[in-house]
Amino acid sequence: MINITLPDQSIKQFETPPTGMKIAQNISEGFARNCVAIEINNTMLDLNRVIDQDASVRLITTRDKEAIGILRHSTAHVMAQAVQKLYPDAKLTIGPTVEEGFYYDIDMPPVSEDDFPQIEAEMEKIIKAKLPFERREVSKQEALEAYKNEPYKTELISELKDGTISFYQQGDFTDLCRGPHLPHTGMIKAFKLMKVSGAYWRADQTKAQLQRIYGISFFDNKELKQHLHLIVEAKKRDHRKVGPALGLFSFHEEAAGMPFFHAKGMEVWNALLDYWREEHRAAGYVETKTPIMLNRNLWEKSGHWENYRENMYTSEIDQTEYAIKPMNCPGGMMLYAETQHSYKNLPLRSAEIGLVHRHELSGVLSGLFRVRAFHQDDAHIFMTPDQIESEILGVLKLVERIYGTFGLEFHLELSTRPAKSIGSDEQWEKATSGLKGALETYGRKYQTNEGDGAFYGPKIDIHIKDALGRTWQCGTIQLDMSLPERFDLSYIGKDNEKHRPIMIHRVVYGSIERFFGILTEHFAGKFPLWMAPVQAVLLPINDDLASYAGDLKKQFEKNGIRTEMDDRAESLNKKIRDAQINKIPLILTIGEKEKESGNLSIRTLDGKVTYGIPMEDFFSRVRGHIRQRNLELEIF
């Protein structure tokens, strides 16, 4: 008798070993039709897997969050099958799921989006056939024999440990895969191929360039339509178009991956940093600055030379190797080591807006989202062990205040020790426990990503959600017990002995460039008044009023309002339209009536017009609105 325990702790008994599908059908046929996989003792498996001993199970349905990844990986197999049908000489590599769907890297002649309808039509045939995904397990030698004509699969198999290797087959197509997969191809209800790009095998420029075909899939056609609608909206908000159109920033081949910020972009930049500094001063941080280039000895001491060398830009000065910093941490360690600290001086919260450089392949550069040169709003908090929880809580509350100012929601993820790391098991256990304890006290739900921590310590990643529902990892909190030891940092404790401080690395904006890009898309270029590069524009209705408008402009600027005047020989309607295109929050028409009364007529971007506002009342309200950093432009 096999006892199966369900999540509600009810037990179902089977005289013979059941499959996951049989368990689902035992509950109800309707329920079984919506099941995609089964979790057995915390391991995700196919529904046709036989369970030959007592087990706790959870049936994964199309409504569960895990289901979408299984669907999309299955769709990737269907796409690969379709491609091989249409392009018999195509050689397959890997086809993983990613945040935006799935892709498959294929060694084949170049394809374009014009080829997608033909591939999609072939995929439709495979889906309509409702081909079952069947798992097979063979020895490594058998796998090598089966894939002797597939060089990329052979390479992957060769690197696997000896033992059984799993494959999945649907119809006449077989692919190397861990699984699990859908019960059959017919469960793919809605899909679309999205784009194609080039990708080097294993991201190595010396190896073959492959065709990377991206796609998306859902269990429901409505979800696909909604997703495609969001893509259209995202294109309208694309910071790579909005930013240059508003004169905020630009990109040039002479400095690939290194953005140029224009005068208007710097107004937004400085508004972000002014707010950042205000919040950090209030939270007890001091601001520091460290050199952009440091010699190899320091990077060896920090562990970056061994663990991060391939991403660093280097140079030789006076026969000594130097590296442009990819991170601010080592400089922060040196600053701390300048002084002997007492437990009475801790915690020490030290922040830096540091310019860092990291080598990224040209193919992955993407506007402000993926760059080679960027500024991090780094901070290093040095503390005693008993201060860990309170300091992490302090950072979380700071993050909550800052993101809330931009109207951004967020969720938390805890990442634990990766395979490549420094530090002892004891240090990692203590650091991870410290983060978990703080998260439990903070009270928000969080998910755990095993093995995804930094090489020097576990971390809390903070993912924000923008106006389109997309999530972005920006803030991070990393607890580090290794670098203080490598740099021999210490403080004098209550016992008058030297002790090793615990350290937090943390960012809130993360990459300021990336955060800038995210906000550009989040607000679709319509920044809140306090951030807007131009907060008000004065539109004199004729040349005779230009002098008066010029005097007004000086008054606006004295009141801290970033103001432009448009005295072009254009119609008033065109000037208003251009101001709206440029997303200027306050548009003021200057006519004879306004000059005589000294009052103002204001049009906001939502089209609302308010007449006869006394000037001092206007200045008072606008200054207060900017000072409070309100999101909504509800002033009058």
pLDDT at 428: 85
* Nearby residues of 273 by Cβ (< 8 Å), 6 or more positions away: 353, 512
Give CA torsion, residues 414, 415, 417, 421, to 10 deg. -130
- For residues 510 and 288, what is the distance between their CA atoms, to the nearest angstrom? 17
Is 333 part of a structural domain of the chain?
no
- Shared-domain flag, residues 452 and 562: no
Is 150 part of a structural domain of the chain?
yes
Is 307 part of a structural domain of the chain?
no
Mean pLDDT, rounded, for 615-627: 94
Q: How many CB atoms lie within 10 A of CB 239?
A: 24
pLDDT at 173: 96
Question: What percent of the chain has pLDDT above 90?
Answer: 85
What length does the chain have?
A: 636
- Shared-domain flag, residues 258 and 143: no
pLDDT higher than 80, residue 636 = no
Catalytic residue set:
329, 358, 376, 378, 380, 459, 505
Structure confidence by residue, pLDDT tens digits, 513-548: 999 999 999 999 999 999 999 999 999 999 999 999
Task: Name the domain count of the chain.
Answer: 4
Q: Counting beta carbons within 10 angstroms of the beta carbon of residue 91, is it exposed (0 to 12), middle (13 to 18) or buried (19 or more)?
A: middle
CATH number of the domain that residue 70 is part of: 3.30.980.10
Helix (H, G, I), strand (E, B) or coil at 69: helix
Nearest Cα to Cα of residue 544 among 588, 595, 578: 595
- Shared-domain flag, residues 72 and 56: no
- Shared-domain flag, residues 119 and 17: no
Structure confidence by residue, pLDDT tens digits, 454-481: 877 889 999 999 999 889 999 999 988 7
Longest dimension (CA), the chain: 97
Q: Would you say 450 and 414 are in contact if contact means Cβ atoms under 8 Å apart? A: no
Q: Read off the pLDDT band of 424 (50, 70, 90).
A: confident
- Shared-domain flag, residues 90 and 162: yes
Structure confidence by residue, pLDDT tens digits, 138-182: 999 999 999 999 999 999 999 998 889 999 999 999 999 999 999
> What is the identity of the amino acid at 296?
R
- Shared-domain flag, residues 442 and 504: yes
- For residues 372 and 514, what is the distance between their CA atoms, to the nearest angstrom? 11
Q: Read off the pLDDT band of 635 (50, 70, 90).
A: confident
CATH number of the domain that residue 407 is part of: 3.30.930.10
Is 25 part of a structural domain of the chain?
yes
- Shared-domain flag, residues 375 and 460: yes
pLDDT at 133: 97
pLDDT at 302: 87
Structure confidence by residue, pLDDT tens digits, 392-402: 999 999 999 99
Q: What is the mean pLDDT of the chain?
A: 93
pTM of the model: 0.80
Is 337 part of a structural domain of the chain?
no
Identify any residues that bridge with 137 across adjacent strands, giving them in sequence order: 166
Q: Read off the pLDDT band of 370 (50, 70, 90).
A: very high
* Nearby residues of 35 by Cβ (< 8 Å), 6 or more positions away: 20, 21, 24, 47, 59, 60, 61, 183
pLDDT at 276: 97
SS (H, E, C) 393-420: HHHHHHHHHHHHHCCCEEEEEEECCCCC
- For residues 203 and 597, what is the distance between their CA atoms, to the nearest angstrom? 67
The C-alpha R_g of the chain, in whole angstroms, comes to: 29
- For residues 460 and 440, what is the distance between their CA atoms, to the nearest angstrom? 12
CATH number of the domain that residue 18 is part of: 3.10.20.30
For residue 44, the enclosing domain spans 2-61
Mean pLDDT, rounded, for 54-71: 94
Structure confidence by residue, pLDDT tens digits, 202-230: 988 899 999 999 999 999 999 999 999 99
pLDDT higher than 90, residue 508 = yes
Task: Take residue 574 and report the two structure tokens written for it.
Answer: 């065109």
pLDDT at 21: 95
- For residues 402 and 507, what is the distance between their CA atoms, to the nearest angstrom? 12
Is 172 part of a structural domain of the chain?
yes
pLDDT higher than 90, residue 374 = yes
> What is the identity of the amino acid at 304?
H
Is 332 part of a structural domain of the chain?
no
- Shared-domain flag, residues 558 and 594: yes
Nearest Cα to Cα of residue 417 among 408, 427, 407: 427
Distances (CA, A) of 93 to 68, 151, 204, 205, 437: 22, 9, 14, 16, 42
Structure confidence by residue, pLDDT tens digits, 1-25: 899 999 999 999 999 999 999 999 9
- Shared-domain flag, residues 358 and 383: yes
Question: What percent of the chain has pLDDT above 70?
Answer: 100
Q: Indicate left, alpha or beta for 215 from its phi (over 0: left) and psi (-120 to 50: alpha).
A: beta
- Shared-domain flag, residues 172 and 201: yes
Q: Would you say 500 and 486 are in contact if contact means Cβ atoms under 8 Å apart? A: no
pLDDT at 85: 96
CATH number of the domain that residue 549 is part of: 3.40.50.800
Structure confidence by residue, pLDDT tens digits, 232-275: 999 999 999 999 999 999 999 999 999 999 999 999 999 999 99
Structure confidence by residue, pLDDT tens digits, 321-357: 999 999 999 999 999 999 999 999 999 999 999 999 9
pLDDT at 446: 93
| E strand residue ranges, 551-598 | 563-565, 586-590
- For residues 116 and 196, what is the distance between their CA atoms, to the nearest angstrom? 9
pLDDT at 431: 83
Mean pLDDT, rounded, for 412-431: 86
* Nearby residues of 628 by Cβ (< 8 Å), 6 or more positions away: none
Q: Would you say 14 and 2 are in contact if contact means Cβ atoms under 8 Å apart? A: yes
Q: Read off the pLDDT band of 511 (50, 70, 90).
A: very high
- For residues 216 and 227, what is the distance between their CA atoms, to the nearest angstrom? 9
pLDDT higher than 90, residue 41 = no
- In sign, the C-alpha dihedral spanning 73, 74, 75, 76 is positive
- Shared-domain flag, residues 490 and 421: yes
| Crossing angle of helices 116-128 and 65-86, rounded to 10° | 110
pLDDT at 163: 87
Identify any residues that bridge with 214 across adjacent strands, giving them in sequence order: 103, 195
pLDDT at 100: 85
- Shared-domain flag, residues 510 and 608: no
Of 522, 556, 580, which residue sits at a domain end? 522
Of 61, 84, 109, which residue sits at a domain end? 61
pLDDT at 427: 80
pLDDT at 507: 96
Of 39, 61, 83, which residue sits at a domain end? 61
Distances (CA, A) of 606 to 268, 586, 623: 21, 10, 20
Is 402 part of a structural domain of the chain?
yes
